[in-house]
Amino acid sequence: MTSETKWLNTEESAAWVRLVALAELLPGALDAQLLRDAGLTHFEYGALMAIADAPDRTMRMTELASRTNATLPRLSHVARRLEERGLIERYPCPEDRRATNATITEAGMQLIADAAPGHVATVRETVLDALTQEQLEQLYAIAGAVLTRLDPDSRLTATSCQFSEGPILAHAG
Amino acid sequence: MTSETKWLNTEESAAWVRLVALAELLPGALDAQLLRDAGLTHFEYGALMAIADAPDRTMRMTELASRTNATLPRLSHVARRLEERGLIERYPCPEDRRATNATITEAGMQLIADAAPGHVATVRETVLDALTQEQLEQLYAIAGAVLTRLDPDSRLTATSCQFSEGPILAHAG
DNA sequence: TGCGATTACTTGTTCCGACAACTATTACTG
DNA sequence: CAGTAATAGTTGTCGGAACAAGTAATCGCA
């Protein structure tokens, strides 16, 4: 069964090209600002924020890997580096001694608290300021629709307040 | 001057989290399908398509790097691997002997022609099928607005028919 | 026309992520 | 209550990308 390919029409192609360009450029822009101003990749920043936002500022490695879309080996390497920099600590989970808990240190809290304003500014400058209120709502719906396919379990969006105002910064003041 | 940070409100944060998740997951999904079915990364596929779409199926390295958002060193390495696989050929540009022209071979044309249907199917399954016609137009506008900031020179979107029906596939039939 | 500056690209090193293999602990099952 | 499977993480190896340095050719300009 050789189902004829349904090629993209002009509108579909144009929208797709723009989406691909966006997905290509956005991560680099976020990494560049955070690396320059805080010495963190966007992935590291997100991981630290996720830990900071968790109860007791503590999270299991597997849970963190799921939330950050990382493989466990990748997260393990990143965690080792963050631990060497004194930004997190790892210790065996008492309840399940196979597991490892990661906790963010005061230094880690301080770092993301210092990094957050610049990051939020970048988010505004590169994305939010370019959109109307209506487009913001449309983006929410569109990205949600696509994520239904790409992330059916909502692993990456289950966070409560990953980038907004909230307890994270209150803690580290 | 310590300008107070304007944190994200609930709507902004929710839309942002989804956009980041999308930008995080989409490249991996595209790479996975293309690697599995054609042995090409999405970057390699895009580069081959860009060359195929150029006059005489030929493009300068610098031009190609700009169009694909690659650094020149990165493109040089990728081009070497593609050349080793017989998918492109490189030769010094006669008009400017500093420059290198890359041409896609018949084997390269055949490979992207074979890969295109599966890729387009993935694009539909993961993105386009999830959107209404209205949302498709909104996505075009939203991504365009953001790209004004991220890609003011439209380097990545200057392509004529990178992913749609058109002369590329007609060539390689 | 000759020499410094720029452009175009390649090569080498280093870091990061994917995959595979391994260890340690817990859960299942007859 | 063995013994096997499954889970949670770490470690090792390999390929790819960023950055820096090097090479070759062209441009600018006196």
Spatial contact of A60 and A100, defined as CB atoms under 8 Å apart:
yes
Q: Are B146 and A19 an interchain contact pair (Cβ–Cβ within 8 Å)?
A: no
How much is the average pLDDT of A57-67?
A: 97
Question: Is strand D in 7 Å reach of the CB of A98?
Answer: yes
Residues making up chain A, counted from first to last: 173
Q: State residue B4's pLDDT score.
A: 86
Spatial contact of A16 and A24, defined as CB atoms under 8 Å apart:
no
Spatial contact of B148 and B156, defined as CB atoms under 8 Å apart:
no
Tokens standing for B30? 């595209």
Q: What is the 3-state secondary structure (H, E, C) of A81-136?
A: HHHHCCCEEEEECCCCCCCEEEEECHHHHHHHHHHHHHHHHHHHHHCHHHCCHHHH
Report CA torsion sign: B80, B82, B86, B91: negative
d(CA A106, CA B76): 44
- Partners of B101 in the β-ladder: B60, B91
Is the pLDDT at A78 greater than 50? The verdict is yes
CA atoms within 13 A of residue A129's CA, in its CB half-sphere: 12
pLDDT above 70 coverage of chain A, percent = 90
Q: Mind telling me how many Å the CA of B168 is from chain A's nearest CA?
A: 12
Using one digit for the tens of pLDDT, what is the confidence trace for A11-34?
Answer: 999 999 999 999 999 999 999 999
Stretches where chain B sits below pLDDT 70 are 1-2, 159-173
Is the pLDDT at A167 greater than 90? The verdict is no
Q: State residue A158's pLDDT score.
A: 82
Tokens standing for B56? 């005489």
Q: In 10 A of CB B42, how many CB atoms?
A: 21
d(CA A79, CA B122): 33
How much is the average pLDDT of A39-68?
A: 97
Q: Which residue in chain B has the smallest CA separation from A117? A: B5
d(CA B104, CA A135): 40
pLDDT band of A165, cuts 50, 70, 90: very low
Is the pLDDT at A103 greater than 90? The verdict is yes
d(CA A3, CA A145): 26
Burial A73-92 (b: 16+ CB within 10 A, else e): eebeebbeebeeeebbeeee
Q: Mind telling me how many Å the CA of A87 is from chain B's nearest CA?
A: 23
Q: State residue A3's pLDDT score.
A: 77
DSSP three-state, residue B2: coil
How much is the average pLDDT of A151-170?
A: 64
Q: State residue B1's pLDDT score.
A: 67
Place of tokens 């490979």: B111
Contacts of A139 in chain B (CB under 8 A): 15, 18-19, 142
Alpha-carbon Rg for chain B, nearest whole angstrom, is 19
